[in-house]
């Protein structure tokens, strides 16, 4: 986002620090800019403000002016303009800054307010953090330490509520832990557009539940788990599997569609436990689809390819590459390359190099579904635009591989290099597969891997680093979360070896090398390196591709260009 | 000094033999003449009269009615709604129900006059769920008035149209809070709204400018138009104009409802002369002067109040005039006019346990301090009266109440904490003595947990 023009800045003073913030900023966000922490539970920047937790109470004041003359009223002691403080504390989340607003967050009154709210939130909360799945990422835990009194005066019986309510297929609710902040309710209503959650009963007995006869089944339900500041909502997939403080966080990209939601991949000792969204206000805000969170399971899925094979027999990589070279030479001029919209920009670049070395035709496998208007777009390939940017393809992929099928039938193609794609799933018949020699890079067993003359096991998204270009033409980077299985090889290495086998000029097998080529050859990436791609992505110039009939409909932060 | 005579304006026909709630009876008594008069006046002129009258809201807060009307956003281009707060749920208050039951057309006329004054085309009467009979009476009265062209399209040929709808609540105290009421009227849970930005005068019902007035207040508007604002302002005392209905309940010989000029009768006159004093052999102990959420007064206490000239005067509790300002100066409030009297047979810990049970049950649960604090206070007082009181419980109650008041979304935070705060301030000795005195449970005196 570009900086707001100075006229839209509002001067405020927070705990004595003067600053100017954009008009419309609330006190919590303004305070954050100067490093002042205003604690909160119910507030979320992407949801409507309800002000129900009362944790963000602050003192507000305005410089005093004489009501008649409008002249500033000075304080004779300090020599500065007097501040009229509002005696009652006010909530920071619902207070938008006004010129000259003064905020105090460190007074005895505010300390008492925070201690009071903390005590109230904890009296009916099960204080069993050692067995709570949220421990380690619990706002209640954090803020009890930061702002609580450290002891409780409560000796009465705690309220009893349902402990295990399955709200939907993926979300479990413990009502006793719920602090009734209503973030999940607001998310479902305002973002997922599936108004399914609400409270029943009242007062301290209020209970979160689904509407009668409904379930929390929408494809964004797990965002409520991320939003939940406490351990009330947990993911049935992740709960009680691993303590969060043991997990390593790796930035990733959701590969299920061209929306390209930013993610965090949580892993420990080479095992991935969960995927959560990573904030990116230009792409996915704080959300991602449930469907994208399950994709890590492909890493350890049955049928994972983990051994190089030549004609179905285990072989060394050297032998396999040599065999591929033989196939390429035997089929000179009759080789086709099938690239993938799921490959990274770097892999697509090397795929292009390979196709050029083989003087092969190239095609991309198209995956089009229905967009959900939010973060799963119609193009289920995460990186078709990467293939355009790298020049692997010049037009959008056809719906089916009909041209390739016809060429095979006519004998014009006798060898196919399938990079990360299953040709059967892409529409080729078993007879067509049988008719050609296949060099296949892949991760999962498929008809193509079964039929492959040369089978080269590659890495899943989570085992390698690279970039995708999403529907906004935003170049986004993902990092390697876990190592690949024994027997699998990095895609770049495999492609570089194949380029060599095809008689092409030596190709780099590492990201740095590929990026040196990309920076030199691709105008949009001129001067760029992999390591300097910003964490929140790099918008590329989409003008060269403006006329293409992209399939995506409107989504979060995306409006299709009208032709 | 003997008590002045009742001055019945609003309750003029209440309990009058032969007076029925139908339109014919109301018309026989000169009904709807004020509406005819109002329709001939400019709306702004009526608002001016209401401002001049100094009328203060009778629902509890005592906010100036004319001022409330003048805050309404009339430039938005959105419709302006009038919502009648007939959710009379403050314990100790029972005035609106008599107007609704016995004189519904007085209210309807007040609504129509106020609607005309504020360019309102749709008015809603939000009546509490526990008044099913009242709702039926209102429905019937509105139908009668509509048939007589007093409500509905082209009222009395004036070209002005306004519909009145009755909406029944489902039985929640919080629906008496105006923004909670609005949410409920919109079909949602009655969670009070945050202010700012949701001031009803700007963003009320359906996010349109909305006026929420109490039943009794709107009846007063009719009489203001009747007699003129200046004339009305002569009733009562300066700043506390008009009459108001006081509902006396509890330990007096003759409890009931009485209409007096505001500030012209003292608490002592009301209780001794009007209500016949304490029950035989008893003495007064504590008075809650404005509905159960108002701070309690101890019988026999005195107040030192500031005069306008800076001097001070001493005022005994029985000499407090029943107006908004003096009661506020004495640390309590006129509230909704519900005067609850407790005599020396009452144990204050048990009385507070009862009040706390009510507020814990009625907290809507939206914001933390009230939701958790009200139930906590109830749990403490319930435990105390069940034989497990501790010496430190009084201080604990005070601590909890202090963490609620002033930190919540709506005034319920004060409503539920003021009883505890004031009971401890005025009767703290009883709370300290209670653990030793009461070791046996008294289950009949408070609801079980």
Asked if A236 has any chain B CB less than 8 Å from its own CB, the reply is: no
Instruction: Provide the domain count of chain B.
Output: 3
Using a CB-CB distance cutoff of 8 angstroms, which residues of chain B are in contact with residue A113? Answer: 403, 407
User: Which run of H or of E encompasses A142?
Assistant: helix A139-147
Identify the bridge partners of residue A11 per DSSP, sorted by sequence position. Answer: A20
Note whether B356 and B338 are same-domain residues: no
Evaluated on CA atoms A292, A295, A296, A297, the torsion sign reads: positive
Asked if A206 has any chain B CB less than 8 Å from its own CB, the reply is: yes
Q: How confident is the model at residue A2 (pLDDT cuts 50, 70, 90)?
A: very low
Domain assignment present for B17: no
Asked if A211 has any chain B CB less than 8 Å from its own CB, the reply is: no
Domain assignment present for B7: no
Identify the domain containing residue B331 by its residue range. 237-343
pLDDT tens digit sequence for A348-398: 999 999 999 999 999 999 999 999 999 999 999 999 999 999 999 999 999
Asked if A109 has any chain B CB less than 8 Å from its own CB, the reply is: no
Interior/surface letters B330-357, b for 16+ CB within 10 angstroms, e for the rest? bbbbbbbbbbbbbbeebbbbbbbbbbbb
Task: Give me the count of residues in chain A.
Answer: 563
Q: Among partner residues B365, B369, B406, which is closest to A117 by beta-carbon distance? A: B369
Q: Among partner residues A113, A119, A201, which is closest to B407 by beta-carbon distance? A: A113
Interior/surface letters B148-187, b for 16+ CB within 10 angstroms, e for the rest? eebbbeebeeeebebebebbbbeebbbbbbbbbbbbbbee
Every domain range in chain A assigned CATH 3.10.20.30:
6-106
Domain assignment present for B446: no
List the CATH number of the domain containing B321: 3.10.20.600
Question: Of B202, B234, B266, which closes a domain?
Answer: B234
Note whether B251 and B165 are same-domain residues: no
Q: Which residue of chain B is at minimal alpha-carbon distance from A122?
A: B372
Q: How confident is the model at residue B435 (pLDDT cuts 50, 70, 90)?
A: confident
Note whether B61 and B177 are same-domain residues: yes
According to the model, what pLDDT value does residue B104 have? Answer: 97
What is the average pLDDT value for chain A, to the nearest integer? 95
List the CATH number of the domain containing B178: 3.40.50.11540
Note whether B138 and B255 are same-domain residues: no
According to the model, what pLDDT value does residue A4 have? Answer: 47
E strands along B128-222, which residues? 163-168, 210-214
With beta carbons less than 8 A apart as the criterion, state whether B389 and B435 touch.
yes
Please state the pTM of the whole predicted model.
0.94
Phi and psi, residue A65, nearest 5°: -125, 150
Substitution target from A108, A120, A180, A197 for chain B, most B beta carbons within 10 A: A120
Using a CB-CB distance cutoff of 8 angstroms, which residues of chain B are in contact with residue A153? Answer: 396, 399
Using a CB-CB distance cutoff of 8 angstroms, which residues of chain A are in contact with residue B191? Answer: 52
Using a CB-CB distance cutoff of 8 angstroms, which residues of chain A are in contact with residue B375? Answer: 124, 159, 203-205
pLDDT at residue B115 tops 60: yes
According to the model, what pLDDT value does residue A1 have? Answer: 42
Asked if A90 has any chain B CB less than 8 Å from its own CB, the reply is: no
pLDDT at residue B440 tops 80: no
pLDDT tens digit sequence for B151-161: 999 999 999 99
Note whether B394 and B425 are same-domain residues: yes
Q: Which residue of chain A is at minimal alpha-carbon distance from B189?
A: A199
What is the rounded average pLDDT of the residues A156-165? 95
Note whether B176 and B196 are same-domain residues: yes
Using a CB-CB distance cutoff of 8 angstroms, which residues of chain A are in contact with residue B399? Answer: 153
Domain assignment present for B18: no
Q: What percent of chain A has pLDDT over 70?
A: 98
CB atoms within 10 A of CB A541: 11
E strands along A269-396, which residues? 271-277, 309-310, 313-314, 335-339, 361-364
Interior/surface letters B307-317, b for 16+ CB within 10 angstroms, e for the rest? eeeeeeeebeb
List the CATH number of the domain containing B424: 1.20.1440.230
According to the model, what pLDDT value does residue B447 have? Answer: 53
Question: Of B303, B325, B343, which closes a domain?
Answer: B343
Note whether B268 and B371 are same-domain residues: no
CA distance to partner chain A, nearest, from residue B205 (Å): 17
Using a CB-CB distance cutoff of 8 angstroms, which residues of chain B are in contact with residue A91? Answer: 194
CA distance to partner chain B, nearest, from residue A53 (Å): 5
Q: How confident is the model at residue A6 (pLDDT cuts 50, 70, 90)?
A: low
Note whether B216 and B112 are same-domain residues: yes
Q: At what angle do helices B368-383 and A108-123 cross, to 10 degrees?
A: 60
Q: What percent of chain B has pLDDT over 90?
A: 92
Note whether B265 and B383 are same-domain residues: no
According to the model, what pLDDT value does residue A76 have? Answer: 87
Instruction: Report the distance separating Cα A79 and Cα A85, nearest Å.
Output: 17
Note whether B182 and B215 are same-domain residues: yes
Instruction: Please tell me which residue, B418 or A67, carries the higher pLDDT value.
Output: B418
According to the model, what pLDDT value does residue B438 have? Answer: 62
Class in CATH terms, A6-106: alpha beta
Domain assignment present for B447: no
CB atoms within 10 A of CB A83: 19
CATH for the A155-299 domain, from 3.40.50.10860, 3.30.70.20, 3.30.300.160, 3.40.50.10470 = 3.30.70.20
Task: Domain A309-545: give its CATH architecture.
Answer: 3-Layer(aba) Sandwich (3.40)
pLDDT tens digit sequence for B16-72: 999 999 999 999 999 999 999 999 999 999 999 999 999 999 998 899 999 999 999
Asked if A427 has any chain B CB less than 8 Å from its own CB, the reply is: no
What is the rounded average pLDDT of the residues A98-120? 96
Q: Among partner residues B189, B372, B409, which is closest to A199 by beta-carbon distance? A: B189
Every domain range in chain A assigned CATH 3.40.50.740:
309-545
Domain assignment present for B316: yes
Whether B365 sits inside 8 A of A199 (CB atoms) is yes
With beta carbons less than 8 A apart as the criterion, state whether A425 and A403 touch.
no
Using a CB-CB distance cutoff of 8 angstroms, which residues of chain B are in contact with residue A94? Answer: 194, 196-197
Q: In what order do the strands lie in the sheet with A262-268?
A: A248-253, A262-268, A271-277
pLDDT tens digit sequence for B232-251: 999 999 999 999 999 999 99
Domain assignment present for B444: no
According to the model, what pLDDT value does residue B449 have? Answer: 47
Q: How confident is the model at residue B1 (pLDDT cuts 50, 70, 90)?
A: low
Residue identified by tokens 């006046």 is B41
Identify the bridge partners of residue A474 per DSSP, sorted by sequence position. Answer: A539
What is the rounded average pLDDT of the residues A516-527? 95
Q: How confident is the model at residue A561 (pLDDT cuts 50, 70, 90)?
A: confident
According to the model, what pLDDT value does residue A77 have? Answer: 86
What is the rounded average pLDDT of the residues A454-459? 98
For chains A and B, count residue pairs whose Cβ atoms are closer than 8 Å. 99
Q: Which residue of chain A is at minimal alpha-carbon distance from B370?
A: A203
Question: What is the value of ipTM here, to two decimals?
Answer: 0.93
Q: Which residue of chain B is at minimal alpha-carbon distance from A110?
A: B407
The DSSP letter of residue A15 is T
Nearest to B94 by CA among B312, B296, B303, B249: B249
Note whether B122 and B216 are same-domain residues: yes
Query: How would DSSP label each residue in B377-438?
Result: HHHHHHHIIIII--TTHHHHHHHHHHTTTTSSSSTHHHHHHHHHHHHHHHHHHHHHHHHHH-
- CA dist A547 to A375, A563, B339, B380, B393, Å? 23, 8, 78, 72, 76
- Tokens representing B233 are 């302002």
Instruction: Report the distance separating Cα A469 and Cα B334, nearest Å.
Output: 68
Domain assignment present for B14: no
Note whether B353 and B337 are same-domain residues: no
Q: How confident is the model at residue B387 (pLDDT cuts 50, 70, 90)?
A: confident
Q: Among partner residues B194, B403, B404, which is closest to A94 by beta-carbon distance? A: B194
Whether B409 sits inside 8 A of A52 (CB atoms) is yes
According to the model, what pLDDT value does residue A79 have? Answer: 84
């Amino acid at each position: 986002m570009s900086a707001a023009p100075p006229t839209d800045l509002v001067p405020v003073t927070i705990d004595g620090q003067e600053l100017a913030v954009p008009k419309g900023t609330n006190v919590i966000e303004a305070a954050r800019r100067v490093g002042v922490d205003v604690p909160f539970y119910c507030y979320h920047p992407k949801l409507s403000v309800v002000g129900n937790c009362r944790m963000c109470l602050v003192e507000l004041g305005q410089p005093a002016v004489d009501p008649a003359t409008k002249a500033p009223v000075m304080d004779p002691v300090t020599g500065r303009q007097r501040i009229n403080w509002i005696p009652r504390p006010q909530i920071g989340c619902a207070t938008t800054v006004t010129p000259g607003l003064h905020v105090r967050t460190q007074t005895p009154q505010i300390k008492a307010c925070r201690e009071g709210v903390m005590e109230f939130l904890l009296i009916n909360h099960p204080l069993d953090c050692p067995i709570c799945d949220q421990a380690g990422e619990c706002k209640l835990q954090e803020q009890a330490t930061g702002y609580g009194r450290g002891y409780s005066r409560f000796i009465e019986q705690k309220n009893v509520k349902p402990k295990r309510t399955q709200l939907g297929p993926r979300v479990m609710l413990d009502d006793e832990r719920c602090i009734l902040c209503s973030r999940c309710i607001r998310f479902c209503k305002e973002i997922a557009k599936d108004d399914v959650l609400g409270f029943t009963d009242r007062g301290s007995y209020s209970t979160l539940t689904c509407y009668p006869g409904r379930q929390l089944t929408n494809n964004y339900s797990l965002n409520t788990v991320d939003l939940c500041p406490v351990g009330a909502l947990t993911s049935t997939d992740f709960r009680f599997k691993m303590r969060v403080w043991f997990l390593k966080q790796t930035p990733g990209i959701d590969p299920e569609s061209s929306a390209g939601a930013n993610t965090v991949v949580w892993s420990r000792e080479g095992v991935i436990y969960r995927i959560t969204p990573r904030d990116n206000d230009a792409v996915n805000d704080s959300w991602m689809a449930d469907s994208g969170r399950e994709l890590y399971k492909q890493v350890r899925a049955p049928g994972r390819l983990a051994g190089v094979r030549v004609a179905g027999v285990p072989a060394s990589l050297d032998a396999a590459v040599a065999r591929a070279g033989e196939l390429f030479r035997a089929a000179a001029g009759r080789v086709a390359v099938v690239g993938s919209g799921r490959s990274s920009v770097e892999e697509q670049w090397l795929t292009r190099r390979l196709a050029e070395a083989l003087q092969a035709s190239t095609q991309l496998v198209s995956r089009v579904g229905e967009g959900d208007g939010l973060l799963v777009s119609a193009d289920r390939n995460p990186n078709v635009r990467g293939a355009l940017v790298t020049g692997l393809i010049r037009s959008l992929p056809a719906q089916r591989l009909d041209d390739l099928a016809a060429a095979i039938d006519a004998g014009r193609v006798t060898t196919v290099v399938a990079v990360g794609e299953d040709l059967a799933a892409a529409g080729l018949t078993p007879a067509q597969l049988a008719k050609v020699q296949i060099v296949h890079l892949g991760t999962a067993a498929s008809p193509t891997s079964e039929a492959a003359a040369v089978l080269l096991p590659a890495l899943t998204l989570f085992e390698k680093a690279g970039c995708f270009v999403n529907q906004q033409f935003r170049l986004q980077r993902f990092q390697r979360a876990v190592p690949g299985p024994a027997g699998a090889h990095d895609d770049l290495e495999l492609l570089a070896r194949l380029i060599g086998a095809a008689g092409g000029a030596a190709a780099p097998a590492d990201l740095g090398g590929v990026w040196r080529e990309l920076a030199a050859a691709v105008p949009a990436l001129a001067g760029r390196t992999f390591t300097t791609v910003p964490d929140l992505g790099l918008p590329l110039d989409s003008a060269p591709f403006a006329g293409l009939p992209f399939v995506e409909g409107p989504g979060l932060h995306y409006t299709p260009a009208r032709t | 000094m003997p008590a002045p005579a009742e001055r019945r304006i609003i309750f003029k026909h209440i309990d009058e033999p032969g007076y029925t709630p139908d339109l014919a009876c109301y018309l026989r008594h000169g009904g709807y003449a004020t509406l005819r008069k109002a329709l001939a006046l400019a709306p702004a002129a009526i608002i001016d009269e209401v401002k001049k009258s100094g009328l203060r809201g009778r629902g509890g807060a005592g906010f100036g009615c004319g001022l409330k009307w003048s805050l309404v956003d009339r430039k938005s281009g959105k419709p302006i709604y009038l919502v009648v707060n007939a959710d009379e749920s403050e314990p100790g208050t029972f005035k609106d129900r008599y107007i609704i039951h016995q004189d519904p057309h007085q209210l309807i006329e007040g609504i129509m006059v106020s609607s005309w004054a504020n360019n309102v085309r749709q008015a809603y009467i939000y009546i509490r769920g526990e008044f099913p009979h009242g709702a039926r009476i209102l429905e019937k009265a509105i139908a009668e008035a509509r048939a007589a062209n007093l409500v509905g399209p082209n009222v009395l040929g004036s070209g002005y149209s306004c519909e009145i709808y009755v909406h029944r609540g489902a039985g929640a105290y919080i629906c008496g809070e105006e923004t909670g009421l609005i949410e409920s009227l919109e079909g949602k849970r009655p969670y009070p709204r945050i202010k700012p930005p949701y001031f009803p005068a700007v963003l009320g019902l359906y996010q349109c400018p909305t006026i929420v007035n109490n039943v009794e207040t709107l009846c007063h508007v009719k009489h203001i138009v009747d007699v003129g604002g200046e004339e009305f302002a002569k009733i009562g005392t300066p700043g506390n104009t008009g009459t108001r209905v006081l509902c006396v309940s509890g330990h007096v010989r003759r409890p009931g409802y009485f209409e007096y000029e505001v500030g012209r009768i003292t608490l002592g006159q009301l209780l001794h002369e009007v209500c016949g004093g304490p029950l035989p052999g008893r003495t007064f102990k504590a008075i809650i002067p404005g509905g159960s959420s108002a701070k309690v007064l101890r019988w026999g206490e005195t107040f030192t109040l500031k005069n306008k000239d800076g001097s001070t005067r001493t005022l005994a509790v029985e000499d407090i005039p029943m107006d908004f300002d003096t009661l506020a100066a004495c640390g309590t409030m006129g509230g909704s006019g519900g005067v609850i009297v407790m005599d020396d047979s009452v144990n204050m810990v048990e009385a507070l346990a009862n009040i706390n049970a009510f507020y814990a049950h009625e907290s809507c649960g939206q914001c933390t301090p009230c939701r958790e604090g009200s139930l906590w206070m109830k749990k403490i007082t319930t435990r105390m009266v069940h034989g497990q009181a501790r010496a430190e419980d009084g201080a604990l109650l005070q601590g909890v109440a202090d963490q609620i008041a002033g930190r919540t979304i709506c005034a319920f935070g004060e409503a539920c904490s003021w009883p505890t705060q004031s009971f401890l301030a005025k009767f703290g000795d009883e709370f300290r003595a209670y653990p030793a005195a009461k070791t046996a449970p008294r289950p009949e005196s408070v609801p079980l947990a």
